């Protein structure tokens, strides 16, 4: 009888423990360039990604009505953060996933006077790289460093 109680307790305890999968690399190998539709939505089937980006355009340009047809660039880093930017932007928007959405973690200023012309994100082993013509930036979390 004690053996049955012991085995039952063992199975119940084992069934209640948390399972942790580590390490995890959430990064996307390359950026995704998405065209905004009439409703301000972008979607990417490869990553099961569908989101309204009007709030980003409003934050950047104080206008979310003329976003249809614009492009936005997005990449995900190893920690699972999403980085958004686009042509004409002065900032990179860093979002963290939350239940049912994304929350702005930081607005990373690239320049107060210059706007991005042809930005491209690259995934590196330790950081996300932003290239805009001859300018290169290394982005790690909320930090940005001009590298060239």
Cα separation of 45 and 146, whole Å? 32
Phi (first) and psi of residue 10, to 5 degrees: -60, -45
| N- to C-terminal Cα separation, the chain | 73
- Residue 44, Cβ neighbours under 10 Å: how many? 14
Mean of the per-residue pLDDT values of the chain: 88
Q: Which two tokens stand for residue 35?
A: 């065209």
Which of 9-18, 33-42, 95-104, 128-137 shows the lowest per-residue confidence on average (mean pLDDT)? Answer: 9-18
Residue 90, pLDDT above cutoff 60: yes
Decide if pLDDT at 5 tops 80.
no
| Degrees, nearest 5: CA angle 22-27-29 | 135
Model pLDDT, residue 34: 93
Note the pTM of the prediction, 2 decimals. Answer: 0.83
User: Where do the domains of the chain lie?
Assistant: 23-115
Q: Give me the pLDDT at residue 11, please.
A: 60
Per-residue pLDDT band for 16 (boundaries 50, 70, 90) equals: low
Kindly tell me if the per-residue pLDDT of 10 is higher than 60: no
Q: How far apart are CA 52 and CA 40, in angstroms?
A: 5
DSSP string, 24-36: -----SB-EEEE-
């Amino acid at each position: 009888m004690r053996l049955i109680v012991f085995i039952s307790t063992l199975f119940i305890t084992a069934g209640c423990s948390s399972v942790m999968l580590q390490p995890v690399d959430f990064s996307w190998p390359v950026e995704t360039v998405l065209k905004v539709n009439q409703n301000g939505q972008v979607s990417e089937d490869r990553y099961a990604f569908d989101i309204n980006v009007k709030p980003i355009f409003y934050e950047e340009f104080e206008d979310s009505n003329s976003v249809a047809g614009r492009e936005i660039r997005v990449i995900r880093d190893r920690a699972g953060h999403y980085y958004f930017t686009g042509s004409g932007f002065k900032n990179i928007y860093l979002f963290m996933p939350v239940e049912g959405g994304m929350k702005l973690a930081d607005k990373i200023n690239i320049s107060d006077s210059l706007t991005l012309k042809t930005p491209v994100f690259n995934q590196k082993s330790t950081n996300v790289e932003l290239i805009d013509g001859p300018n290169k930036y290394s982005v790690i979390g909320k930090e940005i460093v001009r590298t060239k």
